[in-house]
Amino acid sequence: MDDQENKNVFDGNDEPEKTESPEAPAEEKEASPVPEETAPESEPLDDKSLIESQLDDLVSQLKAKNEEWILKNDIQDWSGLVDDSRQDAEDFVLNESSDISEEKIEQIEVMEIDEDDERLCSICHRRLKLEKDGVTYEYCKRCRNELLETSYNWKSVVTFILSCVVFVFAVALSAVAIINSLGVSKAASLTEQKKLVSASNAYSTLLASSSGDSSYAPLSLKDFFGVNPGENTIRDYVKVLFQRGDLSTLKTVLDTYYSEDDFEKPQNSDIKPISDAVKGLYDVGNRATSIVAAFQGTITKDEADNAIAELEKMKDDESLDPIYLTYYQYYVTTMLQDGFDLQLEYLEKLKEEAPQLKIFYISSFASTYLYMGDYEKCIEYCDLALKDDVEDFTSWRLKIRALSRQKKYDEALALSQEALSLAKDIYTDSSDGSSPDVTYGHPVYLEQAIIYGIKGDMKKAQDAIDKAYQGQLTLDSAYLYAMINKKNGNDEAYDEVVNMLAQYEMTIPAICDEYISGAKTLEEVLIDGKVAWYE
Amino acid sequence: MTALYVITKYLTFPGAFLRCFWEQFMCKLNKLPIENNKCLQTNEMCGHIEHEMSPGKAKGFFFTFIPGLLTFVMGVVCLIPPLVDLFILDVSSTPVRSVCYVLLYLAVSMLTNIFPSVEDAMVMWENYLEFGTGLRALFFLGAIIMKIGAFCEKYTVTFWTNLAIAALIIFL
């Protein structure tokens, strides 16, 4: 251990600047105080000399102790000891004589600072770093103890408290946002799967539970913690409704959530064509209604030609989109008895002029080909429609009927079961207790009832027609309900239909009675007979 | 570069103060002395507090890791509402959008202050290298992210990245 080390170790105090004292030069201090040399016991000493002598003695004792402690390498305890010793010295001097205290204290405090010495505390650069359990710390014990008392920065504490408040608020908002986005992602996923009825129901549920457009509403908790489906969700809903061809709901949604100016915004560029299509169709519809509203049931060729010519004239009006006038021309042809060729002509025209508007022609092609007896073409168009929407039960029905017409009953039955399994899985939050297969799959149940009836399984036919009748009251479902129930001996249900029809001054067709009486089979009535109400 | 670094720290002061709080908290928890608890300074220690390094390997590692992790968690939680409401749903409600903008700023400020100082990161890396093989494999990702992130933060890369993400959330 060299001198330098001894010096550093010895000088454990708080005033590092005092590297030397004018009264006590370094050389002098190096050589100093050995009590025996400076104050022999034999000579009498005055008070001042005595104190000096005792102080010198104390200094040398401290030095000796330090060396001893360093040799023992017990740094931790040493640090405390020097502090105590120094305090003893200071107390001693102050108690005995004030006029020499400064000088002697400075003598005790003499030290040299070496900032590059890595063994020294990086703050005071005087005491050795604390060593404990084999670990050397950055600072000496005293500096560490002082630094450990450092309080928190109040700004960071305030920030922390505010952050905690924000954190709690953000957690709640995040939870709501995640719940919202789960609903949206479910609807989006259903759209991806081409389950447009389910997707439409999911979007509808989200919008129904939302607070609506609260852009300028007063601030309320509902704004933050209610359902906020967002603009993107509404845009997706609009697209789904358009794909499904649910134009009346689509118009309501567009009118509720958008103003004319909104469609000029860049984010709405993808739904602007949809809005234009709906607007175009409704504009044409308003004008064309006066022409087509007069027609009831079937019309003659002359009436149809006149109506088509009038609609053609309206194409000169630039404010009306000619595509939708063509659609109305097609609509007129559907009222013609056996006007299938003309229907196809206008459908081809629509397909050519607006191939993107599939909702206006795909299903129409399928039904026209079915009526024409071209079942393969019908199935082809049904498949096209089902590719875009697997929950399009009108197309399922047409496809099943096309197979039934070909007397491929087993194939048709398998297809109906496939369709109904899809219908059972339709997403709905309906609270009226009705099952989705009845609500949406009733056209399929109707076809299924006919197939079971033809195959002679009257129990299953009964189950199927009950659901079809429950799902939607139409002429064909009512007649079939009456026929199958009567055949199964359920006169009450038959009478119910008769009474219901009587309210509209209608009766059950004679051909139904032929089936009930056993004069004709169901196949003869519906498949071979091609009755108008079933067509 | 230090000037730019300091500017980003001042711009993201809520996150800087929060990070400092967590560092102080960890110091108190580990009984480590704090040399300077001033958070916003005009030097490379801006956004960090000066403290004694933790002596233990694992302690030293987590001492550097945890303040960043806690700030990251708070930042991510603040980011979720703007991300969902502005980016995914595009909510039209003005109060919700306003709150989302505030949360987005807080998220950016917190996520800009998740990495340790380069000095701390180097000590953490040394501690990490002394881990056993299993622990090293377990904490590899965290350690490497902390180390690279410390340099990214020093050169303000994290700030610009977060700013770009925020811009995407708002404008896309």
Highest mean pLDDT among A129-133, A227-231, A239-243: A239-243
pLDDT(B161) > 90: yes
Q: What is the mean pLDDT of residues A255-274?
A: 87
First to last CA, chain A: 115
The mean pLDDT value of chain A amounts to: 77
**Pair A227, A453: CB distance under 8 Å:** no
Q: What is the mean pLDDT of residues B91-97?
A: 79
Closest chain A residue to B104 measured between Cα atoms? A170
**CA dist., res. A33 & res. A49, Å (int):** 13
**Distance from B152 to chain A by nearest Cα, in Å?**
23
Chain A positions in Cβ-Cβ contact with residue B31 (cut-off 8 Å): 148
Compare CB distances from A137 to B18, B52, B77 and report the shortest one's residue. Answer: B52
Nearest by Cα to B113 from B162, B43, B61, B164: B162
Q: What is the mean pLDDT of residues A314-319?
A: 85
Q: Count Cα neighbours of A70 within 13 Å in the Cβ-side half-sphere.
A: 22
Chain A positions in Cβ-Cβ contact with residue B33 (cut-off 8 Å): 138-139, 143-144, 146-148, 150
Closest chain B residue to A169 measured between Cα atoms? B78
Q: What are phi and psi of A350, to 5 degrees?
A: -60, -45
pLDDT(A40) > 60: no
Q: For residue A401, what pLDDT is reported?
A: 92
Nearest by Cα to A526 from A452, A454, A443, A465: A454
pLDDT confidence bin for A374, thresholds 50/70/90: very high
Q: What is the mean pLDDT of residues A5-26?
A: 38
pLDDT(A82) > 50: no
Q: What is the mean pLDDT of residues A492-520?
A: 88
Compare CB distances from A147 to B34, B91, B110 and report the shortest one's residue. Answer: B34
Q: For residue A110, what pLDDT is reported?
A: 40
CATH architecture for residues A374-535: Alpha Horseshoe (1.25)
Give Cβ neighbours of residue A350 (< 8 Å, ≥ 6 apart): A323, A326, A327, A330, A357, A360, A361
Cα–Cα distance list, B153 to B38, B51, B52, B125 (Å): 19, 19, 21, 16
pLDDT(B11) > 50: yes
pTM for the complete prediction? 0.67
pLDDT confidence bin for A223, thresholds 50/70/90: low
Q: For residue A114, what pLDDT is reported?
A: 59
Orientation of helix A247-257 relative to helix A272-292, angle to 10°? 120
Nearest by Cα to B113 from B30, B1, B23: B23
Give Cβ neighbours of residue B70 (< 8 Å, ≥ 6 apart): B22
> What stretches of A210-229 show up as alpha helix (H) in DSSP?
221-225
**Pair A446, A455: CB distance under 8 Å:** no
pLDDT(A109) > 50: no
Compare CB distances from A230 to B81, B91, B110 and report the shortest one's residue. Answer: B91
**Distance from B137 to chain A by nearest Cα, in Å?**
27
- Asked if A170 and B78 come within 8 Å (Cβ–Cβ), the reply is yes
Residue range of the domain that includes B110: 2-171
Rg (chain A; Cα; Å): 50
- In percent, the amount of chain A with pLDDT more than 90 equals 24
First to last CA, chain B: 31
**Pair A531, A517: CB distance under 8 Å:** no
- Per the listing, tokens 């945890």 go with B66
Q: What is the mean pLDDT of residues A220-246?
A: 79
- Asked if A144 and B33 come within 8 Å (Cβ–Cβ), the reply is yes
CB atoms within 10 A of CB A247: 17
Element spanning A464, H or E: helix A458-471
What residue ranges of chain A are covered by domains with CATH 1.25.40.10?
374-535
Orientation of helix A301-314 relative to helix A322-334, angle to 10°? 170
pLDDT confidence bin for A80, thresholds 50/70/90: very low
Compare CB distances from B89 to A159, A163, A180 and report the shortest one's residue. Answer: A180
**Distance from A425 to chain B by nearest Cα, in Å?**
26
**CA dist., res. A498 & res. B165, Å (int):** 68
- Per the listing, tokens 């030293």 go with B60
Q: Which two tokens stand for residue A474?
A: 């139409």
**CA dist., res. A20 & res. A28, Å (int):** 11
3-state class (DSSP) for residue B76: helix
- The strand pairing partners of B36, in sequence order, are B50
Q: Which two tokens stand for residue A354?
A: 């607006």
pLDDT(A390) > 90: yes
**Distance from B22 to chain A by nearest Cα, in Å?**
9
**Pair A89, A58: CB distance under 8 Å:** yes
Number of domains in chain B: 1
- The strand pairing partners of A227, in sequence order, are A210
Compare CB distances from A159 to B21, B37, B90 and report the shortest one's residue. Answer: B21
Nearest by Cα to A53 from A40, A39, A73: A39
- Per the listing, tokens 């917190």 go with B110
**CA dist., res. A452 & res. A440, Å (int):** 20
- Asked if A174 and B74 come within 8 Å (Cβ–Cβ), the reply is no
Q: For residue A192, what pLDDT is reported?
A: 93
**Pair B77, A175: CB distance under 8 Å:** no
Q: What are phi and psi of A450, to 5 degrees?
A: -65, -45
3-state secondary structure A244-265: HCCHHHHHHHHHHHCCHHHHHC
- Asked if A228 and B20 come within 8 Å (Cβ–Cβ), the reply is no
Q: For residue B113, what pLDDT is reported?
A: 93
pLDDT confidence bin for A71, thresholds 50/70/90: very low
β pairing state of B50-51 and A135-136: unpaired
- Asked if B106 and A224 come within 8 Å (Cβ–Cβ), the reply is no
Interface confidence, given as ipTM, is 0.86
